[in-house]
Copies of this chain bind each other. A is one copy, B any other.
Amino acid sequence: MATPHHARRSDTRRRIQEVALRLFAEQGYEKTSLREIAERLDVTKAALYYHFRTKEDILVSVSEDLTAPVDELIAWAQGQPRTLATRQEMLRRYGDALWGAIDLFRFFQENQATVRDLAIGESFRRRLKSLSELLKEPDAPMTAQVRSLTALLAMHAGMHAMQNIEGDPEEKRAAILAVALDLVAQADADLVTG
């Protein structure tokens, strides 16, 4: 048959994840009801419960799938020397990860209050903490540490909060990366001179 059993299965599952993520990102987690997700997919609410245990579970599954690259990035960075070059490569790779899962990260950014007491929030914060610890030197001058974190922020916000800047998206992304790279470079310089 053209659509074997297991192909169909994962198809619905994946479609739920896609639609859910889109709606979560567009409207927020709380304002997106399972009814709405089901309606968009033309299935019943009960069907969602066949594939996922709870509403939160849908989000968790999406998040696990899409944040894997970030975990890989962290694992990679932990095996590298703590040099400026490593940090800059981290930012480059992080940029790729962010752009590969833009809806999810936008969701995290805009639903922090909601996400905070979901299980998922904890792992999000853990990841951010790992990243920032790899990016900054714990005993660097405070200004240097702030610069490193700001580099991270700039990349996060760059995805959606920089719409006030006109111009080609790719070019904008490059400019954001450039600024971020510059910030960690300055932080690195502070280590010597500061």
Chain A contributes a number of interface residues (CB within 8 A of B) equal to 44
Q: Is A119 an interface residue (CB 8 A)?
A: no
| Residues from chain B with Cβ under 8 Å of A175 in the complex | 142-143, 145-146
Stoichiometry, copies per complex = 4
Q: Is A69 an interface residue (CB 8 A)?
A: no
Q: Contact flags (1/0) for A45-61 with B, using CB distance below 8 Å?
A: 00000000000000000
CA distance A114 to B26 in the complex (A): 10
| Beta-carbon contact of B133 and A145 below 8 Å | no
CA distance A178 to B107 in the complex (A): 30
By a beta-carbon cutoff of 8 Å, the part of chain A in contact with chain B is 27-31, 107, 109-114, 116-117, 128-129, 132-133, 136, 138, 142-143, 145-147, 149-150, 153-154, 157-158, 161-162, 164-167, 171-172, 175-176, 178-179, 183
